[in-house]
Homo-oligomer: A and B are copies of this chain.
């Protein structure tokens, strides 16, 4: 319990407002009576908090159709469809997705663009996002208002100034990308950047395959391999926001050379290039090569199946190390790791049985993402909603000031 937990009576109303809004954002429309019961607040407190949130244009109330029960049915409170929305962006090595997401998590509109190799510079990407955001803003319901921008990217973001320390697949190093975006959006719009695996973990925890789990790990395979970790219900960031570099966990000091200069890193054994190599892929590693290898394995092609088994085995060893260390309930395998779980579960589980301790081994389940390929995009939206959810009044006031 830290100093921040000292209770000052004047903060109670602000805190309750934030909690009720977060609840509606996470669970969607709810009966006022259920909110009262769920949160353990009395009816008059809930009524005044809801009145505040309605006044801010964030939620709306409606009377439900007459129920069978006796007495007045409880009002329903839900996100206002022409209320707040965020711009959520997912940047990949060769692709940018920009979307508008409403309170409650509904994707209102989205725009996908491939990035050509010479378009991955930080200024070009920032311009791309601004142009797509402008297109998307024309598609949201009239009256809806922007409350934040969230960006998922394949790199590490420093806590504090949100400088992108490195994003090797974009060729970025120490890029002040937050600053680049901030000059392109109105000054009252909060902008947040984070690592793709970190926001993917957040989204899977809130709305996907790790919902309800206290401890979960989301692994994402692309060219690199990243991890987002949930510990006791919260994101594990590390001291500087740089945690989750699981791709460079050494699994075999005698293993293949990694892009980082070391040997036998997880990335060098289970990343996309490793899968292609293990499957005997001889053509250039284009964007769709991994999909083709997976399709071949699904059809029973021996080299592709052997590749999946080999990568699955290394992946199982890596997961065993994580299970021993962190004792998660759920490990979610996303990106190129999802088909390895679908087609190579036997190889993964065999290594897990061999290297994980019986106690934590018995508690963990391996899953593919509940949000399919959108975990990081939805996670970017959650990131963008954080300032509003933490302080609904302050965030809306900033816009009106």
Contact = CB atoms under 8 A, between A and B. Distances in A.
Interface in A1-46: 1-3, 5-9, 11-12, 15-16, 18-19, 22, 38-41
A363 interface: yes
A249 B321 contact: yes
Contacts of A214: 239
A23 to B, nearest CB: 9
Interface string A150-174: 0000001010000001100000000
Interface residues of A, number: 70
Given A252-B253, A317-B250, A359-B165, A40 B245 contact: no
Contacts of A260: 357
Nearest to A245: B324
A244 B248 CA distance: 19
This chain: how many copies in the complex? 2
B7 A242 contact: no
B12 A16 contact: no
Interface string A348-364: 00000011110110010
A251 interface: yes
A248 B325 CA distance: 8
A355 B250 contact: yes
Nearest to A243: B327
Given A3-B40, A327-B239, A250 B357 contact: no
A275 B282 CA distance: 46
A262 interface: yes
A359 B248 CA distance: 13
Contacts of A251: 250, 253
A322 B239 CA distance: 13
B238 A40 contact: no
A342 interface: no
26 contacts: A1-B15, A1-B18, A2-B233, A6-B41, A7-B7, A7-B11, A7-B15, A9-B12, A156-B359, A165-B359, A215-B243, A232-B236, A236-B326, A239-B328, A239-B329, A240-B327, A242-B357, A242-B359, A242-B360, A244-B327, A245-B324, A246-B324, A248-B324, A248-B356, A261-B354, A325-B325
